[in-house]
Amino acid sequence: LLLEEDICRGLQAEEFIPFLQPQLDESARVIGAEVLARWQHPQRGLLGPGVFIEVAERAGLVEQIDVQMLHQACHQLALWRKSPATASLSLAVNLSARLLYQPDFVDRLLRLLQQSGANPHRLKLELTETMLLDDMPAAIACMHKLRGHGIRFSIDDFGTGYSSLAYLQKLPLDQLKIDQSFVRELSENGNSLAIIKAICALAGSLQLEVIAEGVETDEQHKRLWDVGCRHFQGYLFGRPMSLEKFERLLTTAG
Ligand code: G
Ligand code: G
Ligand code: MN
Ligand code: NA
């Protein structure tokens, strides 16, 4: 209860901020970042989602965290849009099912994009398979509307849910995100490589982009490359970092 109340207070005080983890393309250029929430707690310091996401979910507060991340992401995209050096950067925001299924979510997000001046084509939403299966028809309708405005969709933690692959035909998707558990076992376990290979082949034939997360070593990077993966995220390229640090990385990597 205490943590719940503290999250409420933190939301009011706007203590939740986005950290950005770089995402790279085939030529190792930074093409954007995943937004990962952090809580700048006045007493406890900087807290990661491990401390608050589950409690926030149970308390029905995670939607508000997501909304605050969306606001800050759109604000940042609008600023980046003004300079040719940053105008093509995209941001991927994690969404909880609860937010996606709010009846006014589509209108609210479209209004946010319009008011912030962000380019909708630079916003990606990360959803999980299990969340989409809760109410597939609603998810499809929502995604079609947003995609009509240029917003893109990625399936997070792909391959870890208990879902069938049938939904891949039905959902308007842009990207599959290979779960880091497969990447982690890449060097030890032949099965992980086979699974990643299959995901890349599947994505290729469905004309979806693939990104691997949790890439920590050159060897993992190379193996992913060899099976056709061309987008990467992981400690090898950068940890989740403050906006200031991310922008410094852009200028030094530029
Ligand atoms: O950085 P990492 O520890 O940063 O994130 C841990 C988990 O928290 C991940 O599964 C990530 O998807 C989730 N997460 C991080 N930020 C957000 C957010 O803004 N909204 C939601 N719903 N989940 C988030
Ligand atoms: O949204 P999602 O569940 O995919 O969140 C990604 C999580 O993975 C975050 O907690 C992030 O900090 C973490 N992460 C990102 N890159 C790496 C990595 O290279 N290695 C490990 N172990 N964790 C990572
Ligand atoms: Mn994610
Ligand atoms: Na993930």
Residue pLDDT, tens place only, 138-181: 999 999 999 999 999 999 999 898 777 888 989 999 999 999 99
What span, in angstroms and rounded, lies between the C-alpha atoms of 230 and 204?
11
Residue 64, sorted as left (phi over 0), alpha (psi -120 to 50) or beta, turns out to be alpha
Ligand 4 ion: nearby residues, β-carbon < 5 Å:
156-157
254 secondary structure, DSSP code: -
Is this complex's ipTM strictly greater than 0.85? yes
List CB contacts of 106: < 8 A, sequence separation 6 or more.
142, 145, 146
Element housing 48 (H / E): none
pLDDT computed for residue 156 by the predictor: 96
Q: Which of 1-5, 58-62, 100-104 has the lowest mean pLDDT?
A: 1-5
What span, in angstroms and rounded, lies between the C-alpha atoms of 221 and 233?
10
Furthest C-alpha separation in the chain: 51
- The two structure tokens encoding residue 181: 């558990």
CB environment 173-197: b (16+ within 10 A), e (fewer): bebbbbbbebbbbbeeeeebbebbb
Amino acid found at 107? D
pLDDT computed for residue 1 by the predictor: 60
Give 131-179 as a DSSP string: HHHTTHHHHHHHHHHHHTTT-EEEEEEET-SS--TTHHHHS---EEEE-
Distance 213 CA to ligand 2 centre (A): 7
The pick from 7, 36, 69, 242 for probing ligand 1's pocket by mutation, whose C-beta has the most ligand atoms within 8 angstroms, reads 36
Q: What is the mean pLDDT of residues 124-145?
A: 93
Q: What is the mean pLDDT of residues 5-20?
A: 98
How do strand 90-94 and strand 30-41 relate by DSSP bridges? Answer: parallel
List CB contacts of 108: < 8 A, sequence separation 6 or more.
67, 102
pTM over 0.90: yes
The ligand minimizing its distance to the Cα of 36 is: 1
- Ligand 1 contacts (CB < 6 A) are 36-37, 48-50, 53, 62, 65-66, 69, 94, 96, 240
Residue 209: is it exposed, middle or buried by C-beta count within 10 angstroms (0-12/13-18/19+)? Answer: middle
What span, in angstroms and rounded, lies between the C-alpha atoms of 235 and 216?
5
pLDDT computed for residue 252 by the predictor: 85
- What spatial distance separates the first Cα and last Cα of the chain, rounded to whole Å? 46
> Given a cut of 90, is residue 227 above it in pLDDT?
yes
Domains and CATH numbers, the chain: 2-253 (3.20.20.450)
Distance 177 CA to ligand 3 centre (A): 8
Nearest CA to 139 out of 179, 99, 91, 92 is that of 99
Q: What is the mean pLDDT of residues 32-36?
A: 98
Q: What is the mean pLDDT of residues 114-137?
A: 95
> Given a cut of 70, is residue 254 above it in pLDDT?
no
